[in-house]
Amino acid sequence: MAAQTPPTTGLSPLISARESTLCNGISPWLSPVAMVVAIDLALQGYFGELQVLGGENLPKRGAVLLAPTHRARWDALMLPWAAGRRVTGRDCRFMVTVDEMKGLQGWFLHRLGCFPVNQGRPTLASLRFSVELLAGGQQLVVFPEGRIRRDDGPIRLHQGLARLALMAAGQGVDVPVVPVGIAYGHADPRPGDAAAICFGPPLRVEGQGREAALAFSAQLASAMQSAEQAARRAVGRPIGSP
């Protein structure tokens, strides 16, 4: 995919200072290498067909919070392929669990724009950094289910994403939340499978407080379910099929 907009410039000094306490930012040499190895070779070499649905729903400029379903580790490559710098001119900044930021994997994630969050007790630093990224017009990815889930049961979300969106809105940051559905030819993706990603129409939070967070989470879960069903149909495995 050709880039449609030029890459964004560096972060402000304020964001950069907070970023240094959480991760190493985006390495200017590792990031393009990772794109070639992970996207061009691994992702496109493993799957037989890759599809993007609802691309018109993905904002190309300004802050955006992507809320994808989480079905396989491949999800972390599907998002940069469909929404990363080659498409929007921006990297996908991932909020990931503390455990994922450990060891060799953590070494790479720390240098590819990911930063950790304790889902049970998110620190004020991670939340403030997230809001600052959004205020700076960045693209943030949060998996609101919190873990990989391969069954077809109802989507259940943690409240963290809703609270983050409310926190950003409370500080005057207009953040469209894009529900994203990701699907593969099998629940446990196999070589040669089809894969699809669907971007649903953006949502926006309203109100403040716990009730507003609960209401938005319910709305988002329904929108993610619809996006996933569209992606599942595209790979020939609609939800509810045997």
Determine, yes or no, domain membership for 142: yes
Determine, yes or no, domain membership for 147: yes
pLDDT at position 94 is 92
Q: Rounded to an integer, what distance in angstroms lies between the CA atom of residue 103 and that of residue 22?
A: 16
Determine, yes or no, domain membership for 8: no
Q: Rounded to an integer, what distance in angstroms lies between the CA atom of residue 147 and that of residue 68?
A: 11
pLDDT at position 242 is 58
* pLDDT tens by residue, 106-126: 777 878 878 877 765 667 777
Helix (H, G, I), strand (E, B) or coil at 38: helix
Determine, yes or no, domain membership for 2: no
| Long-range Cβ contacts of 1-4 (<8 Å, 24+ apart) | 1/81, 1/86, 1/87, 2/86, 3/85, 3/86, 3/87, 3/89, 4/60, 4/87, 4/88, 4/89
* pLDDT tens by residue, 155-190: 999 888 998 999 999 999 989 999 999 999 999 999
Rounded to an integer, the average pLDDT of 73-99 is 90
The whole domain housing 205 covers: 13-234
Q: Tell me the C-alpha to C-alpha distance, in Å, between residue 239 and each of 116, 150, 186, 188, 193.
A: 32, 11, 12, 15, 17
Structure tokens at 178: 């894009």
* pLDDT tens by residue, 1-37: 333 333 344 555 545 565 666 666 677 888 889 899 9
Determine, yes or no, domain membership for 6: no
List % helix, strand, coil for the chain (3-state, nearest 5). 40, 15, 40
| E strand or H helix that includes residue 168 | helix 160-170
Determine, yes or no, domain membership for 109: yes
Q: Specify the number of domains making up the chain.
A: 1
Structure tokens at 174: 């207009």
Q: What is the pTM of this model?
A: 0.88
pLDDT at position 160 is 85
Determine, yes or no, domain membership for 105: yes
Q: Tell me the C-alpha to C-alpha distance, in Å, between residue 92 and each of 78, 140, 152, 207, 238.
A: 11, 6, 27, 27, 28
Binned at pLDDT 50, 70 and 90, residue 99 comes out as confident
CB contact at 8 A, 65 and 224: no
Determine, yes or no, domain membership for 240: no
pLDDT at position 3 is 36
pLDDT at position 28 is 82
Binned at pLDDT 50, 70 and 90, residue 192 comes out as very high
CATH number, residue 208: 3.40.1130.10
Structure tokens at 194: 């089809």
pLDDT at position 23 is 65
Calculate the average pLDDT of the chain. 86
CB contact at 8 A, 198 and 180: yes
Closest CA to 140 of 169, 101, 113, 167: 113
